[in-house]
Amino acid sequence: MKIGIGNDHSALEMKAEIIDYLKERGCEVVDYGTNSTESCDYPIYGEKVARAVAAGEVDQGILICGTGLGISLAANKVKGIRAAVCSEPYTAKMARLHNDCNILAFGARVIGPELAKMIVETWLDTEFEGGRHQRRVDLITKIEEENA
Ligand code: RB5
Protein backbone atom coordinates (compact mmCIF):
# COMPACT_ATOMS: atom_id res chain seq x y z
CA MET A 1 0.00 0.00 0.00
CA LYS A 2 1.18 3.51 -0.86
CA ILE A 3 0.62 6.11 1.86
CA GLY A 4 0.94 9.88 1.51
CA ILE A 5 1.87 11.66 4.72
CA GLY A 6 1.84 15.34 5.61
CA ASN A 7 2.17 17.48 8.72
CA ASP A 8 2.90 20.90 10.13
CA HIS A 9 5.80 22.02 12.33
CA SER A 10 4.25 20.51 15.47
CA ALA A 11 4.50 16.93 14.22
CA LEU A 12 7.98 16.27 12.83
CA GLU A 13 9.02 13.75 15.48
CA MET A 14 5.67 12.00 15.34
CA LYS A 15 5.85 11.80 11.55
CA ALA A 16 9.31 10.20 11.69
CA GLU A 17 8.00 7.49 14.03
CA ILE A 18 4.96 6.86 11.85
CA ILE A 19 7.04 6.66 8.66
CA ASP A 20 9.34 4.09 10.32
CA TYR A 21 6.29 2.08 11.40
CA LEU A 22 4.71 2.23 7.93
CA LYS A 23 7.94 1.06 6.31
CA GLU A 24 8.26 -1.80 8.83
CA ARG A 25 4.79 -2.87 7.68
CA GLY A 26 5.94 -2.86 4.06
CA CYS A 27 4.09 0.30 3.01
CA GLU A 28 5.52 2.66 0.44
CA VAL A 29 5.52 6.19 1.88
CA VAL A 30 5.42 9.53 0.06
CA ASP A 31 6.30 12.45 2.35
CA TYR A 32 4.59 15.72 1.37
CA GLY A 33 6.25 17.76 4.16
CA THR A 34 6.79 19.91 6.03
CA ASN A 35 10.24 18.82 7.06
CA SER A 36 11.06 21.95 9.01
CA THR A 37 10.33 22.91 12.60
CA GLU A 38 9.72 26.48 11.45
CA SER A 39 6.12 27.56 12.04
CA CYS A 40 4.05 26.90 8.92
CA ASP A 41 0.44 26.83 7.73
CA TYR A 42 -1.14 23.38 8.07
CA PRO A 43 -3.68 23.84 5.19
CA ILE A 44 -0.80 23.71 2.69
CA TYR A 45 0.12 20.16 3.72
CA GLY A 46 -3.46 19.02 4.22
CA GLU A 47 -4.22 20.06 0.66
CA LYS A 48 -1.10 18.42 -0.81
CA VAL A 49 -1.92 15.02 0.68
CA ALA A 50 -5.64 15.35 -0.07
CA ARG A 51 -4.96 16.11 -3.74
CA ALA A 52 -2.57 13.15 -3.97
CA VAL A 53 -5.23 10.81 -2.52
CA ALA A 54 -8.00 12.25 -4.73
CA ALA A 55 -5.79 11.85 -7.83
CA GLY A 56 -4.93 8.25 -6.93
CA GLU A 57 -1.21 9.01 -6.60
CA VAL A 58 -1.36 7.30 -3.20
CA ASP A 59 -3.89 4.84 -1.76
CA GLN A 60 -4.46 6.54 1.59
CA GLY A 61 -3.29 9.60 3.49
CA ILE A 62 -2.09 10.37 7.00
CA LEU A 63 -2.12 13.95 8.29
CA ILE A 64 -0.67 15.18 11.57
CA CYS A 65 -0.80 18.64 13.12
CA GLY A 66 -1.08 19.73 16.75
CA THR A 67 -4.63 18.47 17.14
CA GLY A 68 -5.32 16.84 13.76
CA LEU A 69 -8.19 19.29 13.33
CA GLY A 70 -6.93 22.09 11.13
CA ILE A 71 -5.09 19.81 8.72
CA SER A 72 -8.11 17.48 8.34
CA LEU A 73 -10.49 20.42 7.84
CA ALA A 74 -8.31 21.60 4.96
CA ALA A 75 -8.12 18.09 3.46
CA ASN A 76 -11.90 17.70 3.62
CA LYS A 77 -12.31 20.67 1.23
CA VAL A 78 -10.83 18.56 -1.59
CA LYS A 79 -13.45 16.66 -3.61
CA GLY A 80 -13.56 12.98 -2.81
CA ILE A 81 -11.76 13.28 0.52
CA ARG A 82 -13.12 11.89 3.75
CA ALA A 83 -10.58 12.72 6.46
CA ALA A 84 -11.22 11.65 10.05
CA VAL A 85 -9.49 12.74 13.24
CA CYS A 86 -8.92 9.63 15.36
CA SER A 87 -7.42 9.70 18.85
CA GLU A 88 -8.05 6.02 19.63
CA PRO A 89 -8.33 2.78 17.63
CA TYR A 90 -12.12 2.34 17.86
CA THR A 91 -12.81 5.54 15.90
CA ALA A 92 -10.09 4.59 13.41
CA LYS A 93 -11.73 1.21 12.87
CA MET A 94 -15.19 2.70 12.35
CA ALA A 95 -13.87 5.46 10.10
CA ARG A 96 -12.72 2.77 7.66
CA LEU A 97 -15.47 0.18 8.26
CA HIS A 98 -18.50 2.50 8.03
CA ASN A 99 -17.30 5.81 6.57
CA ASP A 100 -14.73 4.62 4.02
CA CYS A 101 -12.45 7.44 5.12
CA ASN A 102 -9.38 7.86 2.96
CA ILE A 103 -7.32 10.10 5.22
CA LEU A 104 -6.44 9.46 8.86
CA ALA A 105 -5.60 12.52 10.94
CA PHE A 106 -4.42 12.86 14.52
CA GLY A 107 -2.75 15.35 16.82
CA ALA A 108 0.90 15.16 17.80
CA ARG A 109 0.03 17.28 20.84
CA VAL A 110 -2.88 15.02 21.78
CA ILE A 111 -1.58 11.44 21.61
CA GLY A 112 1.81 9.77 21.95
CA PRO A 113 3.64 7.77 19.28
CA GLU A 114 2.73 4.31 20.59
CA LEU A 115 -1.01 5.07 20.59
CA ALA A 116 -0.61 6.70 17.17
CA LYS A 117 0.96 3.48 15.84
CA MET A 118 -1.93 1.42 17.23
CA ILE A 119 -4.37 3.77 15.50
CA VAL A 120 -2.47 3.50 12.20
CA GLU A 121 -2.34 -0.30 12.55
CA THR A 122 -6.11 -0.50 13.08
CA TRP A 123 -6.72 1.88 10.17
CA LEU A 124 -4.59 -0.13 7.76
CA ASP A 125 -6.06 -3.46 8.86
CA THR A 126 -9.70 -2.40 8.39
CA GLU A 127 -11.58 -2.52 5.07
CA PHE A 128 -14.77 -0.64 4.20
CA GLU A 129 -17.83 -2.81 4.89
CA GLY A 130 -19.96 -1.42 2.03
CA GLY A 131 -23.66 -2.42 1.98
CA ARG A 132 -25.86 0.12 3.77
CA HIS A 133 -22.77 2.16 4.54
CA GLN A 134 -22.10 2.65 0.83
CA ARG A 135 -25.51 4.33 0.55
CA ARG A 136 -24.59 6.72 3.36
CA VAL A 137 -21.19 7.52 1.92
CA ASP A 138 -22.91 8.15 -1.44
CA LEU A 139 -25.20 10.65 0.31
CA ILE A 140 -22.13 12.49 1.61
CA THR A 141 -20.74 12.57 -1.95
CA LYS A 142 -24.09 13.90 -3.19
CA ILE A 143 -23.85 16.88 -0.80
CA GLU A 144 -20.36 17.55 -2.11
CA GLU A 145 -21.54 17.41 -5.74
CA GLU A 146 -24.52 19.69 -5.05
CA ASN A 147 -22.16 22.30 -3.62
CA ALA A 148 -19.51 22.08 -6.34
C1 RB5 B 1 -0.23 25.03 15.27
O2 RB5 B 1 0.12 25.80 16.35
C3 RB5 B 1 -1.59 24.39 15.50
O4 RB5 B 1 -2.58 25.36 15.43
C5 RB5 B 1 -1.83 23.31 14.49
O6 RB5 B 1 -0.83 22.35 14.60
C7 RB5 B 1 -3.13 22.54 14.62
O8 RB5 B 1 -3.34 22.05 15.89
C9 RB5 B 1 -4.32 23.21 14.06
O10 RB5 B 1 -5.43 22.68 14.00
Q: How would you write the chain as a 3-class SS string?
A: CEEEEEECHHHHHHHHHHHHHHHHCCCEEEECCCCCCCCCCHHHHHHHHHHHHHCCCCCEEEEEECCCHHHHHHHCCCCCCCEEECCCHHHHHHHHHCCCCCEEEEECCCCCHHHHHHHHHHHHHCCCCCCHHHHHHHHHHHHHHHCC
Q: CB of 7 closer than 6 A to ligand 1?
A: no
Output the pTM of the full model: 0.98
Q: CB of 69 closer than 6 A to ligand 1?
A: yes
Does 148 have pLDDT greater than 90? no
Would you place residue 118 in the very low, low, confident or very high pLDDT band (cuts 50, 70, 90)? very high
Best probe residue, ligand 1, of 9, 15, 67 (max atoms within 8 Å of C-beta): 67
Domain regions of the chain by residue span = 2-146
Protein residue whose Cα sits closest to atom 1 of ligand 1:
66
Does 127 have pLDDT greater than 90? yes
pLDDT tens, 44-94?
999 999 999 999 999 999 999 999 999 999 999 999 999 999 999 999 999
CATH no. of 2-146: 3.40.1400.10
